[in-house]
Amino acid sequence: MKLLDASVLVGYAQGERAAADYLGRNDDTIFGAPTVVLSEMYTGLFRTTDLTREEAKAKYGWVRAVPFTDEAAVETAEIRATLSARGEKINATDTYIAGTARAFDVPLVTADGDFEKVDGLDVENYRDH
């Protein structure tokens, strides 16, 4: 499984060629998204489209919801502490996403370079593939 960040899902929804190409090249891959990413994505869809709740969920039925677990909470806390000790920072939501990917030991697919700051996180930039 690979986890998708909001950048991929939003890019896909907006018809971004790089997102569609990446997903097409990896069509045999199981994709998941942290629940916080799904929340971001649904918020964007509800703000910019007339999709109903059911239509929005059906549109992304191929994405597995990956929960924020106790292990993800520990990973997130370690990420925040490490970044803070180095004087670095990333968006708080991104720490939850990175913590979830590390907890499940899966790659995170994104276009957000901030994730490169996170030690032990396998990051795939879908625009580079």
Q: In this structure, what CATH number is given to the domain that contains residue 6? A: 3.40.50.1010
What percent of the chain lies above the pLDDT cut of 90? 88
Tokens found for residue 117: 């700051």
Give the mean model confidence (pLDDT) for residues 86-110: 97
Confidence of residue 87 (pLDDT cuts 50, 70, 90): very high
Identify the domain containing residue 29 by its residue range: 2-128
Can you give the pLDDT at residue 10? Answer: 87
Give the mean model confidence (pLDDT) for residues 110-117: 96
28 is in an annotated binding site: no
114 is in an annotated binding site: no
Tokens found for residue 52: 């109903």
**For residue 84, pLDDT beyond 80:** yes
pLDDT tens for residues 20-34?
A: 999 999 999 999 999
Can you give the pLDDT at residue 55? Answer: 92
Q: Count how many domains the chain has.
A: 1
- Residue 98: partners with Cβ closer than 8 Å, 6 or more residues away: 75, 76, 79, 90, 108, 115, 118, 121
Element (H, E) at 96: helix 92-104
Query: In angstroms, what CA-CA distances link 49 with 12, 34, 54, 126?
Result: 14, 22, 13, 25
Q: Is 8 exposed, middle or buried (0-12, 13-18, 19+ CB in 10 A)?
A: buried
The structure tokens 């106790």 sit at 70
The dihedrals phi and psi of 111, each to the nearest 5 degrees, come to -120, 5
**For residue 15, pLDDT beyond 80:** yes
pLDDT tens for residues 34-47?
A: 999 999 999 988 99
